[in-house]
């Protein structure tokens, strides 16, 4: 079985060495079970992220791990980076993960273990009763937890976290479900649309950490507006279906 791992990156030059130290042992372990392709998508970084990724990972040689480097000329947003990564995947399973280490790469095998028959998506869930958050600024948690609460009301109460990037998908999901957002809404849009189409989601209780280097790339006001707009669309869809019934 082939596994694709997609890591969108934007201005992460100072994180690359840490990324290698934490990610490489996990990839080596996974390569005992999977043929791996690791796709880095540099989303128009203004620093030397792309060069650092190529020099750090490009010289590595493994029989069952292939590294691929894609680049946007200008910054287009997380959703656009995901679409670029998805367009080149060959894996039966696809993992998307933050490049800044806010979710531990060492959790990838545990997350994949929950992708059992009948499950199409496994999403990391720090807001699950067995999950937790360490060192993340409270204002960011208010945004994420508030958005997830509204999605729980609108879409499915059994899922506690709707806003994370750290997930495992079956290839059929990303090959079937389109999403339009170029920004941080993208992962939520993809999962919600998949759920509404009948794909099954399971949670992986996870720990969300504060990033060690650099600053978060999320634009708070823009992200809030994107979620509210999408939630309004879901509500209108629900009301339309209810009228038909």
Q: pLDDT band for 181, please (50, 70, 90 cuts).
A: very high
Contact 165, 187 (CB under 8 A): yes
Whole-prediction pTM? 0.92
Helix (H) or strand (E) holding 21: helix 16-30
pLDDT tens profile 47-76: 999 999 999 999 999 999 999 999 999 999
CATH number at residue 41: 3.90.550.10
What average pLDDT score do residues 15-30 get?
Answer: 96
Q: Using CA atoms, how far apart are residues 154 and 235, in angstroms rounded to an integer? A: 7
Nearest-angstrom CA–CA distance, 134 and 48:
29
Site of tokens 């509404």: 196
pLDDT tens figures, 116-163: 999 999 999 999 999 999 988 887 788 889 999 999 999 999 999 999
Nearest CA-CA partner of 143 in 226, 230, 224: 224
Q: Is-contact 22 105, C-beta < 8 A?
A: yes
For 121, the domain range is 2-244
The domain total for the chain is: 1
């Amino acid at each position: 079985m082939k596994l694709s791992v997609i890591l969108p990156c934007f201005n992460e030059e100072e994180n690359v060495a840490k990324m290698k130290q934490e990610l490489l042992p996990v990839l080596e372990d996974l390569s005992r079970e999977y043929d791996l392709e690791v796709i880095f998508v540099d989303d128009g970084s203004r620093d030397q992220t792309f060069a650092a990724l190529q020099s750090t990972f490009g010289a590595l040689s493994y029989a069952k791990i292939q590294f691929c480097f894609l680049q946007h000329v200008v910054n287009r947003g997380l959703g656009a980076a995901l679409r670029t990564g998805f367009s080149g995947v060959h894996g039966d399973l696809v993992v998307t993960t933050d490049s800044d280490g806010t979710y531990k790469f060492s959790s990838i095998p545990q997350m994949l273990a929950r992708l059992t028959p009948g499950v199409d998506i496994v999403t990391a869930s720090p807001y699950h009763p067995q999950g937790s958050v360490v060192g993340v600024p409270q204002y960011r948690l208010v945004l994420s937890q508030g958005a997830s609460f509204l999605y729980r009301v609108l879409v499915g109460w059994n899922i506690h976290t709707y806003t994370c990037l750290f997930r495992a998908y079956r290839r059929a999901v990303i090959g079937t479900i389109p999403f339009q957002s170029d920004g941080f809404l993208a992962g939520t849009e993809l999962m919600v649309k998949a759920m509404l189409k009948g794909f099954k989601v399971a949670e992986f209780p996870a720990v969300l950490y504060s990033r060690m280097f650099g600053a978060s790339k999320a634009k708070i006001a823009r992200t809030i507006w994107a979620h509210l707009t999408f939630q309004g669309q879901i509500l209108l869809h629900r009301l339309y279906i209810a009228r038909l019934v």
